[in-house]
Structures are given as C-alpha cells and as structure tokens.
Amino acid sequence: MSKNLRVGFGTNDEITVGDHFGHCEKFVIFTVEDGKIVKKEIVVAPEHAPGVFPKFIADNQIDTVIIGTMGHRAYNMIQANGGEVLLGITGNIEDVLATYLAGNLKSQGTACQHHHHHEGEEHHCKH
C-alpha cells in the first residue's frame, strides 16, 4: 500500500458503502498518510452519464474506489488511469476502511453488465 493514499466510497447516506457506483449521490473520500486518516471529505457525485464518474475519480485524485457494483466501462477506465477498484463490498464505510488499511479487504465481485433502454429509461445491472 502506498505511503499517501486517497480512498473513495460511493454512498447515499454518508455511512454505508453504496450499492452501485454510478447511482451514488455522494462520495466519502479519505486521505491517508503513513497509514493514518488525516482528512475526510464528503463530495457530491456528478450526474450519471457514460464516463463521468471515472473522470470524477481522477479529478479528485482517488487512488482506490470501494463500492458494491460498477459497470465494466467505469471499472476499466479507472484501472486504465492507475486506480484500484474493490467491488462487492458492503457495510459501514469507516469499518470497511479500517479493514482495507489493515490489508484485509479483498474485492468480492466483478463489474456488472448493463442493459440499456432507448426511451430515456435507466439501465440496470444483470446479476
């Protein structure tokens, strides 16, 4: 794990890890230096659109994203930019962060496939 790190959690309530990356209302971002949390920020997420969330991650210099699920495109874009993505994660954000910083958090899922509708309806993951 790097000496200085920014870890981002998608969330809707600022307490628990969000279910789906592209549908989170906010991100809780922790700055970690030498294994200690030095800053916690809550940032409003952008509107959901293709490619917007990975850019948001890069713009906020988030090294690791921890979330329930994420589409393949976002997953690939974040990894292509050098980011780490841990999927299939649930629970209290601060508890999950402690587990991650202890080196005991492993990705539990894979990026989801999306089915797109053409009448302006939302897309949904197939699980």
Average the pLDDT over each of 38-42, 46-50, 92-96 and give the range with the smallest value: 46-50
Q: What predicted TM-score, i.e. pTM, was given to this entire model?
A: 0.86
Could you state, in order of their start, the residue ranges of all structural domains in the chain?
A: 4-126
Contact call for residues 88 and 109 (beta carbons, < 8 A): yes
* Residue, of 15 and 125, whose pLDDT is higher: 15
Tell me the CATH number for domain 4-126.
Answer: 3.30.420.130
pLDDT tens for residues 70-118?
999 999 999 999 999 999 999 999 999 999 999 999 999 878 765 443 3
Contact call for residues 56 and 121 (beta carbons, < 8 A): no
At 72, which amino acid appears?
A: H
CA distance 70 to 89: 11
